[in-house]
Structure 1
Amino acid sequence: DLDSRLPDAGVVHLGLMRGGEALHHLLAHRSEGAIVVELERALASEPGSFDDVYPHVRAFLDRVQRVRDVAELTALAAREVRRVTGLDRVLIYRFDADWNGEVIAEDRNDRLPSYLGLHFPAADIPAQARDLYRISRLRLIADAGYVPAPIEPPVNPLTGRPIDLAFAVLRSVSPVHLDYMRNMGTGASMSISLMRDDRLWGLISCHNRDPATVPYHVRTACDLVGQVLSLQLAADEASAVADRRDALRMIQNRLLARMAAADHYVDGLIASGDDLLALAGAGGAAVATGGTVVRIGATPPERDIRAIVAWLSARERLDVVATDSLVAAMPEAGRMKDLASGVLAISTSQIHDSYVLWFRPEVIRTVTWGGDPRRHAEPSADGARPSPRTSFAAWQETVRLRARPWAPPEIDAAGELRTAIVDIVLRKAEETAALSERLTSINKELEAFSYSVSHDLRAPFRHIVGYAQLLKKYEGERLSERGNRYIDTIVESAISAGTLVDDLLGFSQMGRATLTPVAVDMDALVADLRRRMEADTHDRNVEWRIEPLAPTRADPIMLRLAMQNLIDNALKFSRHRDPAVIEIGSTETADETIYRVRDNGAGFDMAYVGKLFGVFQRLHRVEEFEGTGIGLANVKRIAERHGGRAWAEGRVNGGATFFFALPRR
């Protein structure tokens, strides 16, 4: 039963059939519901069965198992195929990512020239032909000068379409391909597909100068050689990839440990610079996040890295981007070729322009083509169809602006690092949110507590001052001079304590008060503050230098308090200067308006700048300069309540400058 003997795909050899005095191989395969039967004439001298060529194949299998080098393995296969076929030349042809081919192994006699090391453009084997090679592993053209015979009927009666001959052994080929063979000086050819994961990896390409038939059982042996070679190449490549992945995984683990231990993942990456480079086999790397760029190793200048980040951000946002020719997508990248012809990048945020990038330099290489690849087709003599090029002489091309390609394990490792970074960022965000919630709760409790304590202490201090003053008024004459000094000390201390309580109460209220932003004329605000302070500075030589100030939008009461505290601070700490110089100015940037108050007073040591804005923090003794240590804390809180910031610069006995910045709205 023929139907039961045929698989869904592929050709089956059904045996030999005699037709007259000639023997024929009987071949059959399925095609869209029909069965196609072919009769291929057997040679009188060919082997009777596969058993006759099996010893040669067996010897090849034994040798293959002892070889792990691709060059040696493919050379062995080329030698074995030529030995069993007797053809003039056998090539091992490997495709690259763009389907250009390279001859990586060859075995030949002197009847045909060597093509070893030559490259051939993708157009030589177009996509349609590659699809056929993938479906049908072995193709034979016994005579490039054959005359094709028509099929009768030409239409499959079951489908109403031309018969699909994809699996047909005797299928005619394109006339252009026959021209190609003749131009190459070959009268016969055979190809065996080399597969990797159902993808065409390459070909065993066989040529003979004269027409030649390869017997069916020899072709079967060659097909087996091709399958074994495919499996061995895949196994060796998989083993090398697995080793590379294991090495990269160890690097990943070290990077993850450092990132997890750091306050921010960027700190962990910077601390692991060598591992970050090794993860992708790169010469340089950069971490671009939060408006900053940190460079590691050999990298382009920061402005160029920012240009690459802008290019990445303008594209469809992908988790991983890899290119070995950045200039092909970003023409201005030509200036970076010595450091960044190739770029591998991962996006670490779906919202912000945050990337980790790796760079590889240009690798200039010379490619030797089998003929000029730009002339893969020429007009035929009769103009009826394009003719393939007639010359296959070595033609050299220098390839520039390309880096060594990124290997799949390196791209995968970068993608896994991205996943880890996103996980770390999310976990840190959750921890920060929980901590922020807890701090908010604690701050509310502290503010409520300080408000309660401050409110409850105000009355007792007022009573102390009042009764001490009454005691001195009505009983002062009966007290000794020492007793009166004690009363004065009590009054001063109680007033100071009351001031401290008032400041503390104001500070606690500052955190709870509702903001009422309005447009504020800063020139008018500062002029009013200066006028009110003249009474306290009339006996001092104060030189005011006030620039026109940028207006802003803020809570006017809070803003007035902040500016008053800064001016009071400047006047206080410049008390011993003649003249005391007070400078007030502003600067506008794209994002914020910055106000500054500068004095030429006592200044401070920048080593302690972190303490300046803390509650009750003082850098000078109270005997030198009075105060409660809350004024600058109020300035910082007011700025932060508006979404801004506050900071200071100074040097000992060299004056100080205090800044507070408000967002531009």
Structure 2
Amino acid sequence: MTNADIDLDLCSREPIHIPGSIQPHGMLLAFTREGPPGGEGAWRLTQASTNAAPALVTGIDRALGLTPVEALHPLLSGPVADFLTEPRLSNRSTPLAIVDLPGSGTVQVLAHGGPDGAAIVELEWLSDGNGLIDRVYPRMRDALERMEALETPAEILACAAQEVRGLSGFDRVLIYRFDADWHGTVVGEDGNGRLPSYMDLRFPASDIPAQARDLYRLNRQRQIPDAGYVPVPVLPALNPATGEPLDLSFSVLRSVSPVHVEYMRNMETASSMSVSILLRGRLWGLISCHHRQPRAVSYAVRAACDLIAQILSVRIAAVEERRDAESRIALKAIQARLLAAMAQADPFIAGLQDVPDELLRFAGATGAAIVFEKTCALVGDTPGTAAVRSLVGWLSEQGEPEIFATDTLPDLYPPAAAFRGKAAGLLAIAVSKLHASYILWFRPEVVRTVRWGGDPRKPAASTGNPTRLDPRRSFEEWKEIVRHRSLPWSEAERETAADLRHAIIGIVLRKAEELAALSRELTRSNKELESFSYSISHDLRAPFRHIVGFAELLQELEAERFSETGRRYLDTIVDAANTAGSLVDNLLHFSQMGRSALTSVAIDMDNLVRDVREVLAPEAAGRAIEWDLARLPVVRGDPTMIRLVLQNLLSNAIKYTRGREPARIAVGYEYKADETVFWVRDNGVGFNQAYDKKLFGVFQRLHRNEEFEGIGIGLANVRRAIDRHGGRTWAEGRINDGATFYFTLPKAEAAAPDKREMNA
């Protein structure tokens, strides 16, 4: 038979809370109130175990339907009737009395309210008086005092196991802790050597299925005095009031799954008891007791062991909370230092690189990466930049998680297997909603050997029946090598990382607000400067024209009266006034460019270059210039501004190639992902690349006026025009080896025509 023929989920679906039977070390009676749920009708016996005759005054068949006073033995009817008068029945087993039933023996009477509204009375046989509370209390008191005096988790767990075994008399007591995947590890043990030690062994989650864990959380105590018992049926099988099987979730006598009974036999245990350890309402683990022979313990002993389990959970919680608090305080201190470093850096995120040790210590990591906008900075032992960027891309596809933590990254992101030695574990926080910006911490793979109690890959075997599974028969130590895992991230580390994220987001928002305020102030200042420059340049035009005009009249009418020196001074005045006038005109034009509205239309760059060449023809007259013009594409932009750009760049190329024989000027372009790059290249005098940042500034010149005329505002106009279009400008050059000027425009939709050569 193959695994496909076996129903591997059968055990996890087994309705163990409604077995329809009980264990034979007691009797069960179920009472249901007449009328609608929550009504005030009388309680009547509706179901009973088939061995319940000693508790009744008549046969079971006749007792069904009677009230407690009518149906029960007089020694029982009073305590049960009193319990049923409670306005709300507890789902915890409540001890009502210890009664000697004539001819039958002594019973401990327990009662509780069932999930389906029934009241369930259970009578456990007491074999001797050693399990009574007055015998149990002194030992329990000493146990609690011992546990209170201990500090380390290992000592507390060992003490709890010893005290539970001392109270209960079982051969072996294990304390079993669940992990995040519900696998269990034995973390405490005490035994007399009659059963093998399971200390530090791990057991798969399939040994205790989900619905069994749910019952352990609801009902903290569970006893199986004899794994070889014969179940005692509950009659009738269905509750007449509900039409459903009786819910025994909180019963102490509830019958056990046959698979679990077989599991016990395979472990060579004839009896067992378990007590749940709950931490903050969650099932933390179990105190599991085993014996080679049948053994029953009284309710008083079970209650004492339950109290030890509760004290144990309080001590565990206290230790964990103290360690967690110490860890959080240390992490908060590191976080404060990280934020202080960021506050002093520009850009602020670079501050994390200034304190690399603190950044790694913050998450107990061996490597970290800071991916912010277009930068990727690596700290410590990390994957390469390309791998980190790919990982960030994958993180972005996960729905932009604000915080992401895993100790098994290769299982979630298979490419990480290639760098598991650096990053098998990942803790990441997203620090921007606009860009894929993250801070990532890495932990390397830690290869571990896990000791299992039996091979976890073989949880069950087939019996030949496709609807029945046998539990595994071997519990011998089986070792597994665990790979692709790092040390896990603690809750404190994850939460403090989330706090750091919120702090960084706050810095980002504050910086954005400061930049917005600065932008508004700059916009206002620019408008004021533009208005000022427009006003000044406009008002200065007339005076300079007057100076030139009257100086020229003076040259024309009175030149003969001046000496040679006077005529030279007069020429200087005219030249200076003309230069000043040109400067004012250029300033006025520069100002108007920032103030004028942008009109975006389709521009045929081929035609525009042709027109500009015609305009500049006088400047090139008599020169040997070889033109290399690519067939340019159609773009969108303001035709006046783009014409100005080309006119300035081509005019400069003509001017700065003066003296070259022949002069060579090329115009070309290149498509990028979201823009078109144009260039104008010449073989002129070039420039020192160290001063390229000055080229596009107002009045910035790299050549003396005696060498090349100009006022240094043409390239400033080029940059302003391209900036208005959302493009970029830059230049490359070498002294006496030419220059290339670049500008970009948003990519046009029209396809680029073929290149062509044009020589003139």
The equivalences for 1:83-98 within 5 A come to: 83-98=166-181
In the TM superposition, what is the alpha-carbon distance from 1:161 to its structure 2 partner?
2.5
Q: Which residue of 2 aligns with 1:196?
A: 279
Local SS of the residue matching 1:53 = helix
1:406, 1:384 → 2: CA distance? 41
Q: Which residue of 2 aligns with 1:14?
A: 96
Q: Which residue of 1 aligns with 2:153?
A: 70
Whether the 8 Å CA contact 2:368–2:380 is kept in 1: the answer is yes
Q: Which residue of 1 aligns with 2:162?
A: 79
1:71, 1:624 → 2: CA distance? 88
Q: Which residue of 1 aligns with 2:198?
A: 115
Q: Which residue of 2 aligns with 1:40?
A: 124
Provide, for residues 588-626 of structure 1, a one-character-per-residue CA deviation record: whole Å limited to 9, x for no partner: 210111122234444444444333222223334434433
Q: Which residue of 1 aligns with 2:309?
A: 226
1:23, 1:166 → 2: CA distance? 25
Local SS of the residue matching 2:253 = coil
In the TM superposition, what is the alpha-carbon distance from 1:199 to its structure 2 partner?
0.5
Provide, for residues 456-497 of structure 1, a one-character-per-residue CA deviation record: whole Å limited to 9, x for no partner: 111221111111111101111111111111111111101111
After TM superposition, the structure 1 stretch with the greater mean CA deviation from structure 2, 24-33 or 351-360, is 351-360
Local SS of the residue matching 2:678 = strand
After TM superposition, the structure 1 stretch with the greater mean CA deviation from structure 2, 654-663 or 132-141, is 654-663
In the TM superposition, what is the alpha-carbon distance from 1:446 to its structure 2 partner?
1.5
2:706, 2:365 → 1: CA distance? 61
1:138 and 2:227 are equivalent in the alignment? no
Local SS of the residue matching 1:627 = coil
1:2 and 2:90 are equivalent in the alignment? no
Across the two proteins, how many residue pairs are aligned to each other? Answer: 664
Q: Which residue of 2 aligns with 1:286?
A: 369
- What percent of counterpart residues are identical? 55
Whether the 8 Å CA contact 1:33–1:158 is kept in 2: the answer is no
Structure 1 residues 576 and 63: CA distance shift in structure 2, 3 A: farther
2:186, 2:327 → 1: CA distance? 26
1:486 and 2:572 are equivalent in the alignment? no
Local SS of the residue matching 1:103 = strand
In the TM superposition, what is the alpha-carbon distance from 1:157 to its structure 2 partner?
4.4
In the TM superposition, what is the alpha-carbon distance from 1:275 to its structure 2 partner?
2.4
Provide, for residues 547-579 of structure 1, a one-character-per-residue CA deviation record: whole Å limited to 9, x for no partner: 444442221211121122223333434445555
Whether the 8 Å CA contact 2:371–2:377 is kept in 1: the answer is yes
Whether the 8 Å CA contact 1:282–1:358 is kept in 2: the answer is yes
In the TM superposition, what is the alpha-carbon distance from 1:629 to its structure 2 partner?
2.0
1:651, 1:68 → 2: CA distance? 75
Q: What TM-score, normalized to structure 1?
A: 0.95
In the TM superposition, what is the alpha-carbon distance from 1:154 to its structure 2 partner?
3.6
**Structure 2, unaligned runs of 5 or more:** 1-81, 749-760
The equivalences for 1:130-529 within 5 A come to: 130-380=213-463, 385-529=468-612
Whether the 8 Å CA contact 1:265–1:421 is kept in 2: the answer is no
Structure 1 residues 321 and 200: CA distance shift in structure 2, 3 A: same
Local SS of the residue matching 2:478 = strand
Whether the 8 Å CA contact 1:91–1:105 is kept in 2: the answer is yes
Whether the 8 Å CA contact 1:322–1:411 is kept in 2: the answer is yes
Whether the 8 Å CA contact 1:550–1:588 is kept in 2: the answer is no
Q: Whose RCO is larger (CA < 8 A, sep 6+)?
A: 2
Provide, for residues 307-344 of structure 1, a one-character-per-residue CA deviation record: whole Å limited to 9, x for no partner: 22222222223211111112222223321212222222
Whether the 8 Å CA contact 2:731–2:741 is kept in 1: the answer is yes
1:267, 1:4 → 2: CA distance? 71
Q: What TM-score, normalized to structure 2?
A: 0.83
In the TM superposition, what is the alpha-carbon distance from 1:654 to its structure 2 partner?
4.6
1:62, 1:475 → 2: CA distance? 123
2:377 partner letter: V
In the TM superposition, what is the alpha-carbon distance from 1:537 to its structure 2 partner?
3.3
1:458, 1:384 → 2: CA distance? 103
In the TM superposition, what is the alpha-carbon distance from 1:653 to its structure 2 partner?
4.6
1:349, 1:463 → 2: CA distance? 60
After TM superposition, the structure 1 stretch with the greater mean CA deviation from structure 2, 65-74 or 463-472, is 65-74
For the pair shown, the structure with the greater C-alpha radius of gyration is: 2
Whether the 8 Å CA contact 2:173–2:189 is kept in 1: the answer is yes
Whether the 8 Å CA contact 1:550–1:587 is kept in 2: the answer is no
After TM superposition, the structure 1 stretch with the greater mean CA deviation from structure 2, 356-365 or 90-99, is 356-365
Local SS of the residue matching 1:535 = helix
The equivalences for 1:624-643 within 5 A come to: 624-643=707-726
Whether the 8 Å CA contact 2:132–2:298 is kept in 1: the answer is no
Local SS of the residue matching 2:232 = coil
Provide, for residues 500-555 of structure 1, a one-character-per-residue CA deviation record: whole Å limited to 9, x for no partner: 11110111111122222222232333343334434323455544444444442221
In the TM superposition, what is the alpha-carbon distance from 1:158 to its structure 2 partner?
4.3
1:402, 1:619 → 2: CA distance? 61
Whether the 8 Å CA contact 2:547–2:574 is kept in 1: the answer is yes
Local SS of the residue matching 1:511 = helix
Whether the 8 Å CA contact 1:285–1:358 is kept in 2: the answer is yes
Give the root-mean-square deviation of aligned CA atoms.
2.2
After TM superposition, the structure 1 stretch with the greater mean CA deviation from structure 2, 126-135 or 245-254, is 245-254
Provide, for residues 113-152 of structure 1, a one-character-per-residue CA deviation record: whole Å limited to 9, x for no partner: 1111211111110010000110111111110011111123
1:225 partner letter: I
2:720, 2:200 → 1: CA distance? 72
2:400, 2:224 → 1: CA distance? 49
2:127 partner letter: L
In the TM superposition, what is the alpha-carbon distance from 1:80 to its structure 2 partner?
1.7
After TM superposition, the structure 1 stretch with the greater mean CA deviation from structure 2, 554-563 or 347-356, is 347-356
1:630, 1:24 → 2: CA distance? 108
Local SS of the residue matching 1:267 = helix
1:558, 1:591 → 2: CA distance? 21
Provide, for residues 173-204 of structure 1, a one-character-per-residue CA deviation record: whole Å limited to 9, x for no partner: 11111011011111011111111110011111
1:333, 1:358 → 2: CA distance? 14
Structure 1 residues 187 and 431: CA distance shift in structure 2, 3 A: same
After TM superposition, the structure 1 stretch with the greater mean CA deviation from structure 2, 130-139 or 395-404, is 395-404
Local SS of the residue matching 1:585 = strand
2:170, 2:542 → 1: CA distance? 113
1:43 partner letter: S
In the TM superposition, what is the alpha-carbon distance from 1:447 to its structure 2 partner?
1.1
**Structure 1, unaligned runs of 5 or more:** none
Provide, for residues 206-265 of structure 1, a one-character-per-residue CA deviation record: whole Å limited to 9, x for no partner: 111111112322222111111111111111111111111111111111222233444444
1:622, 1:63 → 2: CA distance? 97
Whether the 8 Å CA contact 2:619–2:654 is kept in 1: the answer is no
Local SS of the residue matching 1:162 = coil
Whether the 8 Å CA contact 1:89–1:208 is kept in 2: the answer is yes
Whether the 8 Å CA contact 1:574–1:599 is kept in 2: the answer is yes
Q: Which residue of 1 aligns with 2:22?
A: none
Local SS of the residue matching 2:235 = coil
Provide, for residues 53-89 of structure 1, a one-character-per-residue CA deviation record: whole Å limited to 9, x for no partner: 3333333323323333222221221122122222111
1:107 partner letter: D
Local SS of the residue matching 2:107 = strand
Provide, for residues 21-78 of structure 1, a one-character-per-residue CA deviation record: whole Å limited to 9, x for no partner: 52111111111433211111112152432x4233333333233233332222212211
